[in-house]
Amino acid sequence: MKRALVTALAATALAFPLTAQEAPPAPSPAEIVAGADGSEWIDILPEDLLVMTLAPDRDGKARRVVIQLMPEPFSQGWIANIRTLARAGWYDGISVNRVQDNYVTQWGDPNYDNPEAEGEAKPLPEGLRVIDEGSYTTLWSDIPAVFSQAGEIITSRAQDLQRAMTGQSPMRGDAYAATTVLAEGWPLGLEDGKAWPLHCYGMVGVGRGMSPDAGSGAELYTVIGHAPRHLDRNIALVGRVIEGMEHLSSLPRGSGDLGFYTAEEADKRTPILSIRVARDLPAAERPRFEYLGTDSQTFARYAEARANRRDPFFIVPAGGADICNIPVPVRSTPATD
């Protein structure tokens, strides 16, 4: 028998001789998502997509990473700067300078935010917003603003919130926030009437120095290990990797402090050829993605199944899930412009 740690092979009858005749096996989370109605998927705006092109790998294979930026009201000062930096071509020619195992992969100007820097920092473009400690107030937001950008509470979103608040949500038992919820397509913490985004695997944030420095958006990182949730509310999150995460997570780890590549291993710094806002690309090169609406019926079934695995491989359903173990499903769609 071919075997795997987690497998979708059709060995159900063999595995469950007592019950296989009685009921079909429970669908896996992936099977539930595959059955979603087209109307439950939500387009991601081309203005909210960043296309990052790394230098080809050692076998000459292209490496594209796509990042989805967060919607209002979160971190909009930094996100405006990221678009400005991309449109000025400032990111072109920077590199991945830090890969720390079970923590982050970080990219930027190797002569700026890097204890191993050897040269002069590259000047930043005109037009960046001033980001100071006051900007941290936009790291979190009043809850109503999250649930309705137009001001009113939208019913299905209020239901999400209600489920989360009354403990009926499958996202239970969080060590870092009174309540967690997947809303507007993002993992959020809720406490004292405020909401903020969470450092799950693949989330993208803004490197910074010691407070009161808050970073500009020129230096970015993504989470490549267990969710470092102690960074929540301490660093601005601006988005998440939705394609090509493996190009960032499988890079060689740096041997310098904090996982920076030392000067001796400077050849391990992966060059970043360009970062573009998808809206600025020719239609034929513009990627299109959509996410499964977190207020959809299918999402609720998917989240419940992630928290209570009953598909054939499992013996003991967990009865709950860490919010970072319920990743929001994202898929690419054919370009039709």
Our CB check for a second copy shows the closer of 249 and 296 to be: 249
Token couple for 269 = 């710094």
Least distance between a second copy and beta carbon 236 (Å) = 11
241 to 280, contacts with a second copy by CB under 8 A? 245-246, 249-253, 257-258, 260
Can you name the residues that pair with 275 across neighbouring β-strands? 52
Cβ pair 62, 52 in contact under 8 A: no
53 to 92, contacts with a second copy by CB under 8 A? 58
**Does residue 167 bind a second copy (CB under 8 A)?**
no
Cβ pair 52, 95 in contact under 8 A: no
**Does residue 113 bind a second copy (CB under 8 A)?**
yes
Our CB check for a second copy shows the closer of 191 and 280 to be: 191
Q: Tell me the CA distances in angstroms from 163 to 105, 148, 153, 218, one per residue in order.
A: 34, 17, 15, 38
Least distance between a second copy and beta carbon 37 (Å) = 26
Our CB check for a second copy shows the closer of 114 and 141 to be: 114
Helix (H, G, I), strand (E, B) or coil at 35: coil
* Mask for 90-109, x = binds a second copy (CB under 8 A): --------xx-xx-x-x---
Our CB check for a second copy shows the closer of 227 and 330 to be: 227
Among 73, 124, 148, 313, contact with a second copy (rule: CB under 8 A)? 313
CA angle 298, 300, 305 (to 5 degrees): 95
Our CB check for a second copy shows the closer of 80 and 313 to be: 313
Among 63, 83, 163, 172, contact with a second copy (rule: CB under 8 A)? 172
103-114 exposure pattern, b = at least 16 Cβ within 10 A, e = fewer: bbbbbbbbebbb
Helix (H, G, I), strand (E, B) or coil at 55: coil
How far apart (Å, rounded) are the C-alpha atoms in residues 228 and 211? 18
**Does residue 3 bind a second copy (CB under 8 A)?**
yes
Least distance between a second copy and beta carbon 45 (Å) = 26
Helices (H), the chain: 12-15, 29-34, 76-87, 143-147, 155-165, 245-249, 297-307
Cβ pair 216, 195 in contact under 8 A: no
9 to 28, contacts with a second copy by CB under 8 A? 9, 11-12, 14-16
* Mask for 186-225, x = binds a second copy (CB under 8 A): --------------xxx--x-xxxxxxx-----x-x---x
Our CB check for a second copy shows the closer of 227 and 277 to be: 227
Cβ pair 174, 191 in contact under 8 A: no
Cβ pair 32, 298 in contact under 8 A: yes
**Does residue 40 bind a second copy (CB under 8 A)?**
no
**Does residue 5 bind a second copy (CB under 8 A)?**
yes
Helix (H, G, I), strand (E, B) or coil at 136: helix
Choose the binding region for a second copy from 80-88, 112-120, 285-293, 295-303 (rule: CB under 8 A): 112-120
Choose the binding region for a second copy from 146-154, 273-281, 286-294, 307-315 (rule: CB under 8 A): 307-315
Least distance between a second copy and beta carbon 234 (Å) = 5
Phi (first) and psi of residue 312, to 5 degrees: -55, -30
CA angle 60, 221, 275 (to 5 degrees): 55
**Does residue 112 bind a second copy (CB under 8 A)?**
yes
